[in-house]
Structure 1
Amino acid sequence: MHVLSTIPASVIGLFLTWCLFPVAYAGTYFVIQEPAQGTQWTNNAANRVTWTKGLLDGVDVVDVEMSRLSQDGLIFVARDVPSNLHALNIFIQDVPPADDYFLLFINSTHGVMYASSPQFAIVNSGASNATASSPDPTVPTVTVSGSPNPTQVFATTFPPSANGAMLPTWQLIQGSGMQMFALMSTLLICLFGGAWTVL
């Protein structure tokens, strides 16, 4: 007689869902607040970028790129921006005016995109519809210039904050409760799957 077959499938499904919940909850909340839809950035001025993100999402740094919808190519703004800054000033000069720009917050090493901004415009500083921007003096300012060019490097690279290296889970004493829970859940699922196969 199969002991495991007496367990209702709904209970098994609920148990497996509960075990995988920490993986599914890994936090995908990442929103670029500024520039908002319809914002106009001005050439030869610092323009503010702000964002909000999840606390436990594991995203420590982001790479910021600017692109246009109607043209190929990227403007590489900043690499390894600490995500806990929540703001950055971008000083733009000689960037072609258009109304189809947007920002990308990505991990350029792995190609993972965390967020994209709404579409915004860039106008020349002398234009009649140019609006003054209010940069945040407490955060870094990055200067970019010229049109999208895939052969350029990032305008600014921030110093490494934690370089992504971590000690193995069993060597972390403090703050490792969630990692130990995930490891034990994985082992339990493997044992459960092996027992299910044998019986």
Structure 2
Amino acid sequence: MVSEEVQLRSTVAGFTASGKLHTLSVWFILALRLMIGLAFFQSGFDKVLAGNFDAAGYLTGAVPNTGSPATDLFVAMGNTPWFVDFVNVAVPWGELLIGLGLIFGAFTRLAAFFGAFMMLMFYFGNWDVAHGYINGDFAYMLVFLSVAAFGAGRILGLDAYLERYEFDGRPLVERYPWARYLLG
């Protein structure tokens, strides 16, 4: 089997980075997608099954004890009843649906975006910089962003089929280019 060398190249703010992917990279990208998907699915499933998730105490009590620079925001969220009601549904079901999306590789970029957003909120909520600014929440956020950037849903995932699904004889992402931001 002849393997093709895949070159990566990106320029941001005038700086260019480039590199080559190893032939095993596809398996590690898939492993990242499945690992973070399973972790989020399990966390969400446990919360949904228990049926008693309540974020109010965390938002108003736990976060202020961390010294987070976003403490005032979290306390304001925790003191807003409609927002707490929203979070009490969004966190368990969000984790469950993000997990399923990643496990099956469906709407992967959309799932990864919301997963990264949740991890950013957890990063500021669970603020702990005793050992530096990089912790597990920050690392998980980067895993979600990597999954999105690599289009991990195309690797043994449903996104590969969804992108090719035809509308009026044209593939979905050709007919609706914005769909590339949700799939992949």
TM-score in terms of structure 2 length: 0.26
| Structure with greater strand share of residues | 1
Structure whose alpha-carbon radius of gyration is higher: 1
